[in-house]
Amino acid sequence: MTQLKGHVSIVTGSTSGIGQAMAKALAKQGSNIVINGLGDQAKIEEERAQIAAEFGVQVKYHGADMTKPDEIADMVGFAKREFGRLDVLLNNAGVQFVSPIEEFPIDKWNQIIAINLSSAFHSIRAAVPIMKEQNRGRIINLASAHALVASPFKGAYVAAKHGVLGLTKTVALEVATHGITCNAICPGYVKTPLVESQIADTAKARGMTPDQVMKDVILAAQPTKKFVEFDEIAGLLVYLASDAGASVNGAGLAIDGGWTAA
């Protein structure tokens, strides 16, 4: 398991859920990691030390707030300063808010666009010169099935994720001759804290019980009637990050049990 030995990867929003699992998946392949995200500092330090010990790689934490362009650029510079290179940029940090459009709080709109869309612009903008210098790089945006299709009450999230896919395609065209690829992974529902809190919010917005939301809203969207697993996303991520993924560029790759086939 050393496909990425000696590589350096940044995973934004890796103190929870998918990002945490993806940081471990990249570390398992031998990549050094910059983890990032919000949370209790002692718990984050525990995670950092645990990944380093389990996979025998170097793991460093950068606390950039994904709403702050200067901090995002500093995080990318930190990877280069600490490790001398940057091979994989995984833009994963994301938040959700569910509300009918006419009541959608303006501050929530601004926050979701900043974290789920603009942060990817700022990190990519800072990473591309480093990757061009290396003549190699992998930019991977953790988008969503909501980059491809919509659901009601998720105006900001769906707009941001569609935007991320547009940004992915544009960057892919700009970097293609520099040994760099840019792709979006578009998962269906994965059972993480983000989805667990959505169950309660959706229940409120639609006047349903949490059980009805699980059955009739979440699993209704996924033909497999199963959540997407971390390992399934990790397999795609490692493929994209490896040499074998060199010709996949500008793609929005659905991993959603068939949701967006309908």
Residue 176 vs 232, nearer CB to ligand NAD? 232
Q: Which of 32, 37, 90, 252 binds ligand NAD (CB under 6 A)?
A: 37
Going by C-beta distance under 8 Å and a sequence separation of 6 or more, which residues neighbour residue 44? 15, 35, 37, 61
Name beta bridge partners: 60. 34
Per-residue interface string for the shown chain with ligand NAD, residues 171-200, x marking contact by CB under 6 A:
----------------x-xx-xxxx-----
Closest distance between ligand NAD and the C-beta of residue 63, in Å?
A: 8
- Report how many residues bind ligand NAD under the rule CB under 6 A: 29
- Please list every residue from 75 through 114 that binds ligand NAD, using CB under 6 A: 92-95
- Please list every residue from 116 through 175 that binds ligand NAD, using CB under 6 A: 116, 142, 144
Contact flag: residue 69 with ligand NAD (CB under 6 A): no
Strands 252-255 and 88-91: unpaired
Q: Which of 3, 30, 52, 65 binds ligand NAD (CB under 6 A)?
A: 65
Q: Look at residue 10 and give its three-state secondary structure.
A: strand
Residue 37 vs 245, nearer CB to ligand NAD? 37
Question: Residue 59, Cα to own-chain centre: how many angstroms?
Answer: 18
- Residue 61 annotated to the active site: no
Contact status, residue 65 vs residue 41, Cβ threshold 8 Å: no
Q: How far apart are CA 159 and CA 161, in angstroms?
A: 6
Contact flag: residue 18 with ligand NAD (CB under 6 A): yes
Contact flag: residue 207 with ligand NAD (CB under 6 A): no
Residue 178 vs 201, nearer CB to ligand NAD? 201
Q: How far apart are CA 145 and CA 188, in angstroms?
A: 5
What are the two backbone dihedrals, phi and then psi, of residue 175, each rounded to the nearest 5 degrees? -105, 0
According to DSSP H, which parts of the chain are helical? 17-28, 41-55, 69-83, 106-113, 119-134, 155-175, 193-206, 210-212, 219-221, 230-241
Contact flag: residue 252 with ligand NAD (CB under 6 A): no
Binding site for ligand NAD (CB under 6 A): 13-19, 36-39, 65-67, 92-95, 115-116, 142, 144, 187, 189-190, 192-195
- Active-site residue list: 157
